[in-house]
Chains A and B, each alone.
Chain A
């Protein structure tokens, strides 16, 4: 394994194993290598923050971890399974069952009330309707929005919208939660609420990977990964 591989606890099982992953974007005839050989291991139950300057490749990395985009080279094993071997349908199932996403722009469907947004992953998992509704409402209660289940995104504040998005990410009980600047559009109070939720998820034993620009946000994580020019530059593990 390369020098940038991180191996903390010996006993925990790896959730994520990247080996020499590269990602090249093509814009017309111009090629740009956003990731230039990233090797990374994240274990079950870790809370990891990803930091780095704008344009360094954080989101690119996150999209590959979440199976939203494909690698140009290198291998990716998610929970021991080789993602490279999977077809579209397998990948959809992985995203549905194993991963919960939280995006900077919330990405809620404006025409649906909060609980219908939250139940979406369950509907693709084939959960029966009655159970779906109950679980969606329970998830909204967990993020403190029990009163707002019927509100559409347009009828919620930014912080509340992001909490709906967190509820959607946790409703299917995924092992891995990926968040790309989830607090980027929020003020300090809303940020604190959302980070509190991530702390709780971590406390439940879920693996959390969080991209952020802010040092205080990153401080919450047990481990900080720094990305620079498509490479993992520097790694800090807090005791």
Chain B
């Protein structure tokens, strides 16, 4: 029997049991679509996180108080928040000690109510310096940014995020208007361009004020000189690691710590953030893919079940074919082809469904789904393998029947 005949026979058998074949394919189809979608979701979230971290700029370093290796212990407590100071930031701007650091933006923030006329809006008030705009690669929608002079004067001026401006002033231009923070009146000198949100914070809802103003006129108290983060920008991507070394050496010296292992601050680059975020979402992807693979396995068992029923139901046919001279190999091949065709058809349809869903779902939910060709090809290969593996057992069993036993069975 030629392969053409074998394929035709297998195809005819599938067609003559339409409903049963359709249900079998459905099992495979759902499994494959689930794999394609979950892998796509995982890749999509990895890409999203990657994109939001890249938007920080690839030559950015982030210095945070407290160490990344030591999350409590001796130096821990809540005091860790005060290990970085405005003076540290000032020192990092030195051209001699840190020649590869182009810009420095210390940040200190507090959550406070802002009022404009009858409208109040609680947001995060961020004290920073003139370099912030450059370091965070942000732009202005209108007005000007904070200046070094503002900082020197402890000026009562603020630059608002686009959402904050809208909340307080509606659609009218906020530049030149006045907001009160506590009992101080601030002049709005600028508004930032919208930037969306990164994984943790809304970048468009904040009010920026000069660092000195935040320290002395808004927050005050004994922690006035402490900052929550210092953003550094290296002169270029190539000098990033040099800038890292310089910042680390300088801060260690200033803090009187000799061993980098016991530093009371940590420096993260975009790359290290990316690695952490990616490993988290990769774990998630692996988990989801595991679940999807399980559903694929269930589909595969469905195929095996159908093949067993099909063989049992068609025992007489097998007996007849053997009586007419079909060697065991021909019978085996016929059932193998049947199982393979079911697996392949289910696999292709499932991949198609997955791809279509990957197009439709992101518009309904707020997610990114990246269809990976490897996942599509891999899952189709798995579907065919399921067909073959689960087709082998019933086919072998069918081929072993004695012709007369098969013929006599009802």
Contact = CB atoms under 8 A, between A and B. Distances in A.
B402 A92 contact: no
B323 A124 contact: no
Interface stretch (B23-31, B76-84, B278-286, B326-334): B326-334
Interface in B1-44: 1-2, 4-5, 12, 16
Interface of B: 1-2, 4-5, 12, 16, 316-317, 320-330, 402-404, 407
Given A68-B407, A126-B1, A95 B402 contact: no
Given A68-B407, A70-B402, 11 more contacts: A68-B323, A88-B328, A93-B325, A107-B316, A111-B12, A111-B16, A112-B12, A123-B2, A123-B5, A124-B1, A129-B5
Q: Is the interface of B mostly helix, strand, loop or mixed?
A: helix
A138 interface: no
Interface of A: 63, 66, 68-70, 88-89, 92-93, 95-97, 101, 103, 107, 109, 111-112, 120-121, 123-126, 129, 168, 172
B131 to A, nearest CB: 80
27 contacts: A70-B402, A88-B327, A89-B327, A89-B329, A92-B325, A92-B326, A93-B325, A95-B322, A95-B323, A95-B325, A96-B326, A97-B325, A103-B407, A107-B320, A107-B323, A109-B320, A120-B324, A121-B324, A121-B325, A124-B321, A124-B324, A124-B327, A125-B325, A129-B2, A129-B4, A129-B5, A172-B325
Contacts of B4: 129
Name, among A92, A111, A125, the residue most crowded by chain B CB atoms within 10 Å (CB to CB): A92
A172 B326 CA distance: 14
Nearest to A125: B325
A101 B325 CA distance: 11
Contacts of A93: 325, 327
Contacts of A69: 402-404
A222 B208 CA distance: 115
A63 B324 CA distance: 13
B403 to A, nearest CB: 5
A54 B356 CA distance: 65
A96 B1 contact: no
B324 A96 contact: yes
B311 to A, nearest CB: 15
B63 to A, nearest CB: 76
A172 B402 CA distance: 22
A141 B2 CA distance: 26
Given A107-B407, A109-B317, A111-B12, A66 B328 contact: no
Contact of A92 (B5, B317, B328, B404): B328
B1 A68 contact: no
A66 B330 CA distance: 20
Contacts of A172: 325
A120 B321 contact: yes
Contacts of B317: 109
A129 B8 CA distance: 12
A101 B324 CA distance: 8
A124 B407 contact: no
B238 to A, nearest CB: 70
Contacts of A168: 324
Nearest to A132: B5
A35 to B, nearest CB: 14
A4 to B, nearest CB: 24
A66 to B, nearest CB: 7
Contacts of B325: 92-93, 95-97, 121, 124-125, 172
Contacts of B402: 68-70
A127 to B, nearest CB: 10
The 9 closest A-B pairs by CB, nearest first: A96-B325, A92-B327, A68-B404, A124-B325, A69-B404, A68-B403, A121-B324, A95-B325, A111-B16
Contacts of B322: 92, 95
Nearest to B316: A107
Contact of B404 (A63, A112, A124, A126): A63
A89 B328 contact: yes
A92 B327 CA distance: 5
A93 B322 CA distance: 10
Nearest to A112: B12
A68 B406 CA distance: 10
A163 B4 CA distance: 28
A35 B194 CA distance: 95
